[in-house]
Structure 1
Amino acid sequence: YPEVILIESSRNLGFAGGNNLGIRKSKGEYIALINNDAQVDGDWLKELVLVADKFPEIGAITSKVYFHYFYLPIKLDCKAVVPKEMGKGRDTRKLGIRVNKVLINKIDVTEDVKFIKGFYLPEKIKSGNFCWSRDSSVLAIPIKDVGKKIKVSLFLQSFSPDNFLNITLGDELIYKGDIGLKEIKTVFSISKEQSYQVKNLINSTGIFIDKQGYGGDRGFESFDESQFDEVQEVFGTSGVSALFKREML
């Protein structure tokens, strides 16, 4: 690739510093930034430039950024109880199912699982992290082989000694059973046809600032339901994927 210019820095400038170094060396009308671990669609750069040309008042444009894998939304339904009301500690949360580990085809994918809805923040113990659900929750599991049969193993336990567990994919019940205090291995299969119910999971659609002044990625860890398809003004661009007009810098 003779058109590629490799810029060597005498020291580690970090992510922002490295981008700034590249920007200073660039000469084009537009400057595009992309993470080195990102995979772009074929029309990624073309679409960004088209928006920039269509709206001359805009100086920076960002794109929709997904997590790498497709994700399958799995719904968990159970009974939730309050430990304090049961005389077991001071915890006032409504606790349903504890998710300890997730395997897909015997491969541990727990670190890539996303707790989308109805979960509390992850907790850490010596054996690893876990998450408590409420009575209804949505777990997103990464699917690398869409169009193939998949075996899913969930290692779960309940705070209640006599709980029930229903697992659904879309409108279909794929598991039904009982669960108690001891961890159980819940196993079910996702058919080739069911695997096509995967969705893109959003990493960012630009930056927003909340009422407390904290920044975050719009749409982070939400499924793409076309809710961000229209061109909209945002507070800032994601550093993962952005296009800048030189005249703005």
Structure 2
Amino acid sequence: MVEVLALGVLAVAAASLNAAFAGRPAEPFHEVARLLTTQRRVPARADMLLARVGVISLPVAAALAALVVPFGDRAAVDTSIGVVWFNAMEVVAWASVWLAGWGVNSAFGLVGGYRFIAQGLAYELPHMFALITAALAAHSLDLRVIGDAQDGLWYAVWMPVAFAVYLMSALAMAFWGPFGHPVGDDLAGGAALELSGPDRVVFLAGRYGLLTVSAAVAVPLF
């Protein structure tokens, strides 16, 4: 529970920092207040059950991934396969975004969902290689053991290529920055186009959550 709450705080901090760099430090809070008081828009012939399953499962996947992130020598879930669990929750996000794009019955939304599937497939292999490189060096899939194995020298120093690959692929898995094509402006918002009101708040929270937990996992990994 502590890890999930920390993830939420860090996600809000990330949103605020992103807005601060754009010169609008209060924008995340204003936007959340606006969306929470906005009526949901339901497109014609939309399957909103599928869409909302996708929307809700996105932050849930990020929160579940956070359960294996160690804080010191402790993690919410005591497991020896933290690396596998973290990567599995990232894959759940593929289905989440695709369902959100498919369910709203929008061409742009559907293309955005398929874009994320294609992007995930393209970057999953190098992402897994980066994760396994750190795991092999520590002889463990436990994020706590991997972190402890770096007492002498950080893996980022003597595995700079794996570290760079992880940072790039983690951005792709969280569809941020140059990898934000699933919700790109060229698709008028893509998978998030038809999401409004609380649905959009939850979807965006999940997106910030994915970015935050990916950054958090980078600490014990490298």
TM above 0.5: no
Normalised-by-shorter TM-score class: under 0.3
Give the structure with the higher percent helix: 2
- Compare relative contact order (CA 8 Å, sep 6+) and give the higher one, 1 or 2: 2
Give the structure with the higher percent strand: 1
Q: TM-score, normalised by structure 1?
A: 0.22
Q: TM-score, normalised by structure 2?
A: 0.23
Q: Who wins on radius of gyration, i.e. which is larger? A: 1
